[in-house]
Copies of this chain bind each other. A is one copy, B any other.
Amino acid sequence: MVATLHVCTTCRRAGEVPEDEIRPGAALHAALEGLDCPEGLRIVPVECLSACTQGCSVALSAPGKWSYVYGRLGPADAATVLEGAALYAQSADGLVPWRARPEIFRKQSLARIPPQALTPEE
């Protein structure tokens, strides 16, 4: 099952950005697209992940797995984000062992959400 890395392309990175300049979120998305995409992952741009004060932000999700949101990112973090995303894509439930996670994934998690299937539907 393919994992999705949603990238907020409207993020201003907690600052005002002139209308005619590229947004930091769009720059992060471009940096990610400029690298080899890990197997089992797809990169999808999205307008606003509602983490505006903690931007730039990305979200990792996949059917049946925990979802994660990471923040305070910039284009220079692109390779590290993909490294962590590759481990997530390979994991069974989205829970990558703590020590295996890149430092960004250990220290810049904004939130995580359990999978839908963790508890039975009523």
A residues neighboring B (CB under 8 Å): 1-2, 4, 6, 42, 44, 46, 48-51, 54, 57, 59, 61-63, 67-69, 71, 109-114, 116, 118-119, 121-122
In the complex the two chains form, is B111's CB within 8 Å of A63's CB?
A: no
In the complex the two chains form, is B2's CB within 8 Å of A42's CB?
A: no
Protomer copies: 2
Residues of B with C-beta under 8 A to A61:
113-114, 116
In the complex the two chains form, is A116's CB within 8 Å of B49's CB?
A: no
Chain B CB within 10 Å, residue with most, of A2, A48, A50, A112: A112
Q: A50 to B106, alpha carbons, bound, how many Å? A: 10
Q: A68 to B48, alpha carbons, bound, how many Å? A: 12
